[in-house]
Copies of this chain bind each other. A is one copy, B any other.
């Protein structure tokens, strides 16, 4: 089979105005970035705002493993499969981050015959959204330090500045730094650090805003520091929200591209899936719902994190009503959850599959708790045996849901026709009674405990002293009546990455709780979360190059 790059380069792309035309969008209402990328102007949504929404389908997955699941690939394939059976569909995805493209693995947006294109541009600067976020984030930082330097009217405690700078780069040297050295004219020395851009609260806000006005309102409520008396200092206290919003006026518009089969795809936003909620923007999803019969969207990591945050944070804030959930698994990955290691992924092992199925089963049960019907999609590998496929189908069907094979990597949309049919059947025949898991007005402790017990299967939750103190402060500041964003390892349903399958009787430890008051959630930290990655010994960047004929190599 051809490589992803070869396939992407051979794609017969349509001009983006032709893709838009399929959706009833006039060329005039696009802000084009070259021939194949465009932002959709707000007037398009304005015109359609009274139209009935299409169906909303979330593609999520089992707990990720080194064996690979292919969640994005199935998402893209499903949108193409829906088109094949006559349903107008849009894939709504996150934008890839530029920085990590130079790190371990290079860029990506799907794979095989289920990719979005133009791949190179999407993996480089795309439409500049992440650069705008970087600039907006760092403008707040510069204004904050300038405020302190110019007299500190707000009496900011330089030891309690919590707003960090960001770069879209894997750069470990910037994790922990001291700024403001060199004397009076350079301001006050203080400890600081850079996060990667996707970890910026501006990114989370971009993805959780229903309009530019709401975006500005949320930005103005970001907590950037505390005073000596521990009262919070907001962005509005240094009056940066207007300039930040101006910087973001284009970035907030959804980006239209296409799949290899010319199905429209909207890529917009890409918040971290641990300290943030890991979903594409509410606006992208809302635009897609107006423009298509079926919107196929995604959420980061496995369903315990991705789907839960999609439901409890994104759907709640966007007033979205998901109709179905596709849970992606591979037989290899389930065997991994059943104890098989890499060397043996390709060998039939029914016992391990049965054991690993517990992970899938738990995610299926979890999705049901939100009242949304699900479909299991098996992203098929050539090494999957007939016996394994048969067993898995039986196991899934015993739980009352359908298990559909998907071959989108090798066959594109054709490989997802069965899956598309089942998704349509579920959306048309089964009722979704979506409801969030918890009430935002409950206490932070209760909200966390509910998620831990109901979704993760924890026996109990332990709050460290630090976490308890933080919660106390958040409550005192009246910032606790918001959803909880869990920062937990994605590799296990528990907070221990080594516990595969569906662990039971474990205790979840909440080490600290932070407020993202602009985005509108509290973050519960259950482990060390790395918000600035580093480069590996041999970075992908070493092999990236452009040939004389313009061909780019090594990028993905």
Instruction: List residues of A whose CB falls within 8 A of some B CB.
Output: 31-35, 98, 102, 124-125, 128, 131-132, 134-135, 138-139, 141-143, 145-146, 149-151, 165, 167-182, 185-188, 192, 212-213, 216, 239-240, 242-243, 245-247, 249-250, 534-535, 537, 539, 541-546, 548, 550, 552, 554-555
Report copies per complex: 2
Q: Pick the contact of A185 from B150, B172, B213, B550 — CB < 8 Å?
A: B172
Residue from B102, B172, B186, B249 within 8 A of A145 (CB atoms) = B172
Closest 10 A/B residue pairs (Cβ): A242-B545, A176-B182, A131-B131, A243-B541, A145-B173, A142-B171, A146-B535, A243-B544, A176-B181, A31-B34
**A175-B186, A546-B245 are contacts. A169–B142 as well, Cβ < 8 Å?**
yes
Contacts of A128 in B (CB 8 A): 125, 128, 131
Q: Indicate if the CB atoms of B180 and A181 lie closer than 8 Å.
A: no
Indicate which residue in B170, B174, B176, B542 contacts A239 across the interface (CB closer than 8 Å).
B542
Q: Are A245 and B545 in contact (CB under 8 A)?
A: yes
Instruction: Known A-B contacts: A135-B169, A173-B180. Give 13 more (CB < 8 A).
Output: A32-B33, A32-B34, A128-B131, A142-B173, A145-B173, A146-B534, A165-B174, A172-B185, A175-B182, A187-B534, A240-B542, A242-B541, A242-B544
Cβ–Cβ contact B124 & A545, under 8 A: no
Query: A187 touching B172 by the CB < 8 A rule?
Result: yes
Q: How far apart are A499's CB and chain B's nearest CB, in angstroms?
A: 24
**Of A32, A35, A173, which is in contact with the most chain B CB atoms at under 10 Å from its CB?**
A173
Closest to A213 in B: B548
Closest to A150 in B: B537
Task: Say how far A524's CB is from chain B's closest CB, in angstroms.
Answer: 23
Residues of B within 8 A of A175 (CB): 182, 186
- Can you name 22 A-B pairs with beta carbons within 8 Å? A31-B34, A98-B135, A125-B131, A125-B247, A134-B134, A138-B171, A139-B541, A142-B171, A143-B535, A149-B173, A172-B186, A173-B188, A177-B181, A187-B534, A212-B546, A216-B546, A239-B542, A242-B541, A243-B544, A245-B545, A245-B546, A249-B546
With A34-B31, A131-B125, A187-B172 given, is the CB distance from A181 to B178 under 8 Å?
yes
Contact of A143 among B179, B181, B539 (CB under 8 A): B539
State whether A246 and B142 are in contact (beta carbons under 8 Å apart), knowing that A128-B131, A177-B177 are contacts in the complex: no
**Chain B proximity of A536: nearest CB distance (Å):** 8
Pair A138/B167 contact, Cβ less than 8 Å: yes
- Interchain CB contact under 8 A, B246 and A146: no
Whether the pair A246, B178 counts as a contact (CB closer than 8 A) is no
Question: Do residues A539 and B146 form an inter-chain contact, with CB atoms below 8 A?
Answer: yes
A246 touches B173 (CB 8 A): no
User: Given contacts A139-B102, A176-B182, A177-B181, is CB(A171)–CB(B150) below 8 Å?
Assistant: no
Assuming A178-B178, A181-B176, A243-B102, is B171 touching A141 (CB within 8 A)?
yes
Q: Which of B149, B172, B178 contacts A172 (CB 8 A)?
A: B149
Task: Check B32 against A246 for contact (C-beta < 8 Å).
Answer: no
Return chain B residues, CB-CB under 8 Å to A180.
172-173, 176-177
Is A240 a contact of B541 with CB atoms below 8 Å? yes
Q: Chain B nearest CB: distance from A393 CB in Å?
A: 45
Q: Which residues of B contact A550 (CB under 8 A)?
A: 249
A132 and B216 alpha carbons, distance in the complex (Å): 26
